[in-house]
Amino acid sequence: MFSFHIERLATPIGHMLVVSDQNDRLRALGWADLEERLQRQLTAYYGSRFKLQSGPTSALVRNALHGYLEGKLDAIDAIPVETGGTAFQRSVWEELRRIPAGVTLSYSELAKRIGRPKAVRAVGHANGSNPIGVVVPCHRLIGSNGSLTGYGGGLERKRWLLKHEAAARVGLI
């Protein structure tokens, strides 16, 4: 049985739901207005083997998230994560964490990076199944034509996150 803590953090784009385990690893991150989606993801990865209780996440996770939102984009790089998922999904999510803040890639570029150039749709599915938005930065993937594509937190949040990262990279935050 997994015991997870969930904490709500206020952000400029809504209340963030931060789920961590007893070892201070981030297990999920979502949005309060999409809490059912977060619950479905946790159930998909852990079945009925988890208990979710309200409580604080670690200071490391909380401070890193606040730092990121204040413009210290690399602050989230230090957050330890445990994602569950298949080996392929984890390979996609690990590669997502290697995309620098403020940089975007297409799904096909990411498929090439993981050595699976024909797995573009599978990369898209894994990206959409990512339980740890923002920290595992699925918002940095865009369409091959440069268009914003789906984001589990909503396209407005994706747009905000990309603008936030671009502004912080050029020193406007």
Which residue segment(s) compose the domain that 119 sits in? 87-169
Same domain for 105 and 122?
yes
Same domain for 160 and 93?
yes
User: Over the stretch 95-142, which tens digit does the pLDDT of each residue have?
Assistant: 999 999 999 999 999 999 999 999 999 999 999 999 999 999 999 999
Closest CA to 124 of 98, 142, 101, 97: 142
CA distances from 68 to 11, 45, 71, 136, 161 (A): 11, 27, 5, 13, 10
pTM of the model: 0.92
| Token couple for 104 | 């975007």
Pairing mode, if any, of strands 26-31 and 14-21? antiparallel
Same domain for 62 and 114?
no
Same domain for 68 and 100?
no
Active site amino acids: 138
Of 78, 96, 122, the position where a domain reaches its end is 78
Same domain for 71 and 40?
yes
Of 54, 78, 102, the position where a domain reaches its end is 78
Domain CATH for 114:
1.10.10.10
User: Over the stretch 49-101, which tens digit does the pLDDT of each residue have?
Assistant: 899 999 999 999 999 999 999 999 999 999 999 988 899 999 999 999 999 99
Radius of gyration of the chain (CA): 15
| Token couple for 166 | 């671009």
Only one residue has tokens 């784009």, namely 13
Burial class (CB in 10 A: 0-12, 13-18, 19+), 51: exposed
Q: How many domains does the chain have?
A: 2
User: Over the stretch 33-45, which tens digit does the pLDDT of each residue have?
Assistant: 999 999 999 998 8
Q: What is the distance between the alpha carbons of residues 64 and 90, in angstroms, rounded to a whole number?
A: 22
Whether 20 and 30 have beta carbons less than 8 Å apart is answered as no
pLDDT greater than 80 at residue 171: no
